[in-house]
Amino acid sequence: MTPRRVPWMVVGLAVVVWVVMQFGWYADAVITDIPVYREAGEAMLDGRIPYRDFSLEYPPLAAALFALVALVPLPYAGVFSVVMLLCLIATALSALAIARELDLGAGRQLLAGVAVAVSPLLIGNLVESRFDLLLAALMGWMIWAMVAGRWQLAWTLFGLATLAKLIPLILAPVLVLFQRHREGLARALAGLVGGVGLAAAGVLPFLVASPGGTWDIARYHLERPLQVESIGSAYLILLDKLADIGLAVENSYGSQGLSGDGAAAIAAISSAVLVVLVAAVAITFALGLRRSRAPGDARLLVAAVAATLAAGLAAGKVLSPQFLLWLMPAAFLIAGRYGRAALGIALAAFLATGIYFPHRYWDLVAFDALPVVLLLIRDALLIALVAACWPRPHIGERGDAGPLGRASEAREGRAERAVAARYLTD
């Protein structure tokens, strides 16, 4: 297959996968967020301002998406599904683009693109009833812009991704470290200020209209209890199965969480662990950058991004199933000896999630054995994924990753010989 045909093949595969999801088991949408999105979009078309006139847990770019879909005079769910298909295609193409910048072989490029395209078959139809594929697409192209040295574009996409969901903020340390490595600290900090400034500019009009209502975006997430699918909850549910500690489930904040002092303590510990993990990834990444250069430093960046996002899932007090989509495409593009393991673990986590959600979700809430076991397996896979994606310094060393390193060295050697042949004489 010629390289020019690969993107078209991946796009076609994504479309076929999306069509398959409209039938049979996949079409049975038991739990969906579409009514929430539609209600918000229609309210904005009626002239109501989000955060001031009605509550909305999502940042402004998400609100804009809901309104744009509502503008189309067709069934809301169908239009939203098409938009998410476009986001899936954009994410798959970003995987191919990043793989090329990382100097991965043709087979690995194709594998990453195909993995993104078929991921809905593993994780299920939640991909078309949640907007997290938009975030995956924005972060995918943000990573590409970073490794390609398109700094302004990278930070613009960072700001837009933050306006869709707040989670990209935890990537700021590794992004700054990478640009500092290539461009210097001053430019890296200027880029960060620009990205954060764009996000702030998007929030400012709503903040002026309703300071309290806009602050509710952050407060909503800060005050959420330990969600039932999080790793902390999985630990407590297992403990309840073994020792009958009397867990209680509360319906709040649009999901199901665990109540009680034990759950609150685990939530606090999870938040502390998240901070430690994000810092540890950044420190390891910074150490690896000291002895790496392109494309090794870019491979380290992708690993650091993937490890940070996986840590956000593993240590977060909320772990809704659609959050796994944030792992694309970074977790599918890890170089080095653990690269294919990371890809396999990520896909296995997708599959474990798709088996219990949405069809067995309420059984999980009732602490039935099978979905609890599936949840424990999925959460264990996420912990393993953090380890597999960890930005080990050897990933960025010259000559690492077998054929990848040798290909880079071969190109450098050819370039040096060409210069010598042209300008040097015996």
Contacts of 50 (CB under 8 A, 6+ apart): 40, 43, 44, 56, 60, 63, 206
Q: From residue 131, give the alpha-carbon distance in Å to each of 81, 89, 198.
A: 9, 14, 21
Question: Which pLDDT score is estimated for 263?
Answer: 87
For residue 234, give Cα distances in angstroms to 266, 270, 300, 365, 397.
Answer: 11, 12, 31, 11, 38
Distance CA 303, CA 334 (A): 6
What is the secondary structure of 351-409 as a DSSP string? Answer: HHHHHHTTTTHHHHHTT-HHHHHHHHHHHHHHHHHHHHH---GGGGSTT-TTHHHHHHH
Give the residue among 25, 178, 218, 10 at the shortest CA–CA distance from 96: 10
pTM comes to 0.91
Question: Would you give per-residue pLDDT tens digits along the chain (426 residues)?
Answer: 677 889 999 999 999 999 999 998 888 767 899 999 999 999 999 999 999 999 999 999 999 999 999 999 999 999 999 999 999 999 999 999 999 999 998 999 999 999 999 999 999 999 999 999 999 999 999 999 999 999 999 999 999 999 999 999 999 999 999 999 999 999 999 999 999 999 999 999 999 999 988 888 888 878 888 999 999 999 999 888 888 787 888 888 778 889 877 888 998 999 999 999 999 999 999 999 998 888 899 999 999 999 999 999 999 999 999 999 999 999 999 998 999 999 999 999 999 999 999 999 999 999 999 999 999 999 999 999 999 999 998 887 754 433 333 344 444 444 334 333 433 433
What three-state secondary structure class fits 255? strand
Cα separation of 206 and 213, whole Å? 8
Residues with Cβ within 8 Å of residue 348, at least 6 apart in sequence: 381
CB 306 within 8 A of CB 327: yes
